[in-house]
Structure 1
Amino acid sequence: MEAYFTLLQTTRQNFLRLLDKLDTDTLNQIPPGFNNNLGWHLGHLVVTPQLLLYRLSGLETQASEHLIEQFRKGTKPSEPLEATIIEKLKQSFADFPARLKSDFVRGLFQEFSPYETSYGFGLSSFEDALLFNNTHEGVHYGYALSLKRALGA
């Protein structure tokens, strides 16, 4: 399991480096051929593990229902994100791996509701969900690299 937590932390550090020094306008820009932006990807990666890891384990999420509805699977940006919201998302994104590991060590993840992902991978445990979440975050990191390149940023 330690490798799963390390991979999550590493992917998130790389994602934050990718966003480093990009202004709010750039994070909100949707280039031709894309249906979302870097800010949306950040929000999506804040929300998704809350659903996969906490909610499916019968635990309360740290993300508000409003945030979940704004960034869950199947959504796209409806309005530009303000700089203050982006900074809060970045902080939540950065803090999450340590909190998740702490909650795991404390034994909070005892229950799990099985879930079939749209990717076709069935989740039957917290461990499955963390493995899938890491794959999901790697996919979105790749999308973010493409978006940044398309923006010329």
Structure 2
Amino acid sequence: MNFTFEVFEKTRGFFRIYLDQLSLDELNKIPPGYNNNIIWNIAHIIATEQVLIYKLSGVPMLVSDDFVNAYKKGSKPEVDVTQEDVNLIKELLTETAKQTKINYNNNAFVNFPEYTPETTGTTIHNIDEALTFVLFHDGLHLGIVMALLKSVKL
């Protein structure tokens, strides 16, 4: 699992670079043809990881229910984020990845029910498969962020 967590942390680092380099206006902009923005996609990967890894395992999430509700599947940006929000998301990108690795190594995720995400239709049976799906999901949204970036920078 070392490789999985190495990829997890590096992918989160790519998202953090966007947060460091883009203005609030760029992060909040919803280009024509899209229903969300760069910051929503970045926060969404955190919310999804927390639900798939923690909530399904019955382990307390590292983020609030309000955070998850704001960025869960099916949600969309309702208000522009502030710099304070961006700072929190930056911290969560790093800290949730680190804590998930610690909790995994401490066998915190032993009660994992089967779950079938609509994205793939493939059933996740255990924490290792859930982590693999989270990597896929993060990569999917990294691609979306890259597409959004091209539209935002026009």
CA drift of 1:10 comes to: 1.1
Q: Who is 1:144 aligned against?
A: 145
- Looking at structure 2, the residues matched to 66 and 101 of structure 1 have their Cα atoms a distance apart, in angstroms, of 24
For 1:1-153, list aligned pairs within 5 A. 1-119=1-119, 120-152=121-153
TM-superposed deviation, 1:129? 0.4
Alpha-carbon distance in 2 for matches of 1:105, 1:13: 21
When the two structures are aligned, how many residues end up with a matched partner? 153
- State the identity as a percent: 30
Q: How far has the Cα of 1:19 moved from its partner?
A: 2.9
Separation (CA, whole Å) in 1 of partners of 2:86 and 2:14: 17
- Taking only aligned residues, the RMSD between alpha carbons, in angstroms, comes to 1.1
Q: Distance in 2 between matches of 1:65 and 1:109?
A: 19
TM value normalised by structure 1: 0.96
Which of structure 1's runs of 4+ aligned residues deviate more than 4 A?
none
TM-score by length of 2: 0.95
CA contact (8 A) 1:37 1:147 kept: yes
For 1:94 and 1:32, the matched residues in 2 are separated by 31
